[in-house]
Amino acid sequence: MRRVRGVSRIAFGILVLLLPAIAGAESLSWRKLVDHPEFWPHDCHVIKAVSFETGASLASGDTVSVLEVRSKEVLVVTTDGTASFSIDPEKTDLLEIANREWKKLSPTQRDLGYGALIKRTDLWPSRVAIMAPVLLGQSEKVSPGEQVSLLGFDGSRFLVSLDRIDRRFQVEPQRIDILAQAREFLAGKPNASPFVAGDAN
């Protein structure tokens, strides 16, 4: 599976400046979504069957994990992590899902993007869920929904630990649910109780 670079330090800085302008919008356009990874859904569905030159294909209704939203394509990975593809945005329901989730967010939640979150360690949970498949070497895979311990941030990616094999690795912010958990905490939901990374038992 082709490796995808995450949001760079420069990009994080840009996001901090642009976020207030988008937070008050009534809906997300594709252009706005491209520029704001904090509003990308973790998953979307294929709504038109897609075939690739390699012989691989995606059927209508297939669920895929979102890796990157670009101006004219979406980079996705199959839920088993075996292959990644670039597909046309109109062949997915990504924008629809993004706007559905957007409307559920309060202004305070919308204001909390990745740029702000990396500075708010008080909102970091001790554990996060992997939201897109991660391959560790040739044989080990971390599947969506699997829990990992949150250890820190290196400027562009989070450091996490897969406790069942005592393996540490870095992961792009969009591949974990850290932002969703922090937003729930801001909303005062009873089950949302972040701890500073590494402080929880």
Average pLDDT, integer, range 76-82: 89
| Residue type at 124 in one-letter notation | W
pLDDT band per the 50, 70, 90 thresholds, residue 23: low
pLDDT of residue 194 exceeding 80, the answer is no
The mean of the pLDDT values for the chain is 85
Question: Rounded to whole angstroms, how far apart are CA atoms 2 and 89?
Answer: 20
Average pLDDT, integer, range 110-131: 94
Question: Rounded to whole angstroms, how far apart are CA atoms 28 and 145?
Answer: 26
Q: Which residues contact 149 (CB under 8 A, 6 or more apart)?
A: 126, 127, 160, 161, 163, 197, 198
Domain ranges of the chain: 121-186
Q: Which residues contact 22 (CB under 8 A, 6 or more apart)?
A: 28, 32, 35, 36, 39, 110
**Percent of the chain with pLDDT strictly greater than 70:** 81
3-class secondary structure, 19: helix
- At 158, list the tokens: 């989070």
Please tell me the CATH code under which domain 121-186 is placed: 2.30.30.40
**pLDDT digit string, tens, across residues 24-44:** 567 999 999 999 999 999 999
Range name among 46-55, 97-106, 152-161 with the lowest pLDDT average: 46-55
Q: What is the pTM of this model?
A: 0.80
- What pLDDT, on a 0 to 100 scale, did the predictor assign at position 190? 58
Residue among 166, 125, 129 at smallest CA distance from 147: 129
Q: How many residues does the chain have?
A: 201
| Residue type at 184 in one-letter notation | E
Where are the alpha helices (H) located in 3-137, listed in sequence order?
A: 9-23, 30-35, 94-104, 107-111, 114-117
What count of other Cβ atoms lies within 10 Å of the Cβ of residue 50?
A: 20
pLDDT of residue 20 exceeding 80, the answer is no
